Amino acid sequence: MIAEIITVGDELITGNTIDKNAAYIAKRLYEHGYIVKRITTVGDDVGEIRRAVLEALIRAPDVIIISGGLGPTHDDVTVYAVALALGRDLVLSEQALEWIKEKYRELYEKGFVDTPEINEARKKMAYIIEGSRPLKNSVGAAPGIEIVHGNTRIFILPGMPSEMRSILEEHVLRSLGGQQLKAIKLKLFSRDESIVAGIISDATREVGTRIHSSPKGFGKDAYIELIIFGKNEEEIEKTVRFLRDKGLKFEIVKK
């Protein structure tokens, strides 16, 4: 199963905000058996977002997750841009509007906003793409959106990390299903990836697990971090035994 991620925001492409959303989404998708083939970041520009979506659709992944640009301000244009890419209209979702009303009443009662009234900026967040369905945001106001285009499921999520994670966990991952992978992290006592590369390749071929390798540290304190992904504990344990039998020295950092 193949996935792509598109993150949106001028704050990302100007370097003012580190794109932690893409890393979180990719990690969670990978843990659910999806291979993320590409991560694209664009600014709050209708044309750029539209092109990014069209280019991703040409590659026909099973899933595209888009994060950012769902708020009430003028530069929150993601939903409109995706609608253009899909050749669909925007429609007002009464369900989404009711969720937004509930959220602002809650915020008003807590003293976080000055009024619970729904103005045009707040109402803007209730417009979704024709043929899509809204996804309730239990943390913030802007609902997420799910739409199927051809054989690709597209999810549009807020850019606020807490809101993105909430909708991703509560709606997206549950609906995607997939076989959730087990993972283990090893600290390999070696400073040279080229020395152990052959053994790691043999392990992936022999056992069938996925192994991510990356060098860490510097100089005499350098080591290699291995993350082993498997379908079950037995597969992971078999990989660990394989590496140990080949003479690699390591410690288990995290299961």
Q: What is the pLDDT of residues 114-149, one digit of tens each?
A: 999 999 999 999 999 999 999 999 999 999 999 999
Q: What pLDDT score does 20 carry?
A: 95
Q: What is the pLDDT of residues 138-194, one digit of tens each?
A: 999 999 999 999 999 999 999 999 999 999 999 999 999 766 778 889 998 887 888
Q: What is the DSSP letter of 13?
A: H
Locate the domains of the chain by residue range: 2-176, 182-254
Of 180 and 43, which is predicted with more confidence? Answer: 43
Q: What pLDDT score does 255 carry?
A: 63
| Contact (Cβ atoms closer than 8 angstroms) between residue 52 and residue 6 | yes
| Contact (Cβ atoms closer than 8 angstroms) between residue 181 and residue 32 | yes
Q: What pLDDT score does 44 carry?
A: 96
- The CATH homologous superfamily of the domain defined by 182-254: ACT domain (3.30.70.260)
Q: What pLDDT score does 220 carry?
A: 75
Closest listed residue to residue 82, CA positions, set 114, 50, 107, 113? 50
Q: What pLDDT score does 124 carry?
A: 96
Q: What pLDDT score does 177 carry?
A: 76
Q: What pLDDT score does 107 carry?
A: 95
How large is the C-alpha radius of gyration of the chain? 22
Average pLDDT value for residue range 61-80: 95
Distance, in Å, from the CA atom of 4 to the CA atom of 22, rounded to the nearest integer, reads 10
Work out whether the CA dihedral 51, 84, 39, 236 comes out positive or negative: negative
Q: How confident is the model at residue 96 (pLDDT cuts 50, 70, 90)?
A: very high
Distance, in Å, from the CA atom of 199 to the CA atom of 205, rounded to the nearest integer, reads 10
Residue 164 corresponds to which tokens in the numbers above?
């993105």
The three-point CA angle 238-228-2 to 5° equals 120
Q: Cα–Cα distances in Å, from 160 out to 79, 81, 129, 243, 244?
A: 15, 19, 21, 41, 43
Distance, in Å, from the CA atom of 42 to the CA atom of 52, rounded to the nearest integer, reads 8
Closest listed residue to residue 225, CA positions, set 198, 245, 252, 195? 252
- Written as one letter, the residue type at 123 is K
Question: Mapping DSSP to helix (H, G, I), strand (E, B) and coil, where does residue 163 land?
Answer: helix
Q: What pLDDT score does 231 carry?
A: 81
Distance, in Å, from the CA atom of 225 to the CA atom of 212, rounded to the nearest integer, reads 8
Q: What pLDDT score does 191 carry?
A: 77
3-state secondary structure 184-197: EEEEECCCCHHHHH
Q: Name the CATH code of domain 2-176 (choices 3.10.20.30, 3.40.50.300, 3.40.980.10, 3.90.45.10).
A: 3.40.980.10
How many CA atoms lie less than 13 Å away from 142 in the CB half-sphere? Answer: 26
Q: Detail the DSSP E strand segments found in 143-188.
A: 144-149, 152-157, 182-188
Q: What is the pLDDT of residues 198-250, one digit of tens each?
A: 999 999 888 888 888 888 877 777 888 999 888 888 888 999 999 999 888 88
| Contact (Cβ atoms closer than 8 angstroms) between residue 182 and residue 227 | no
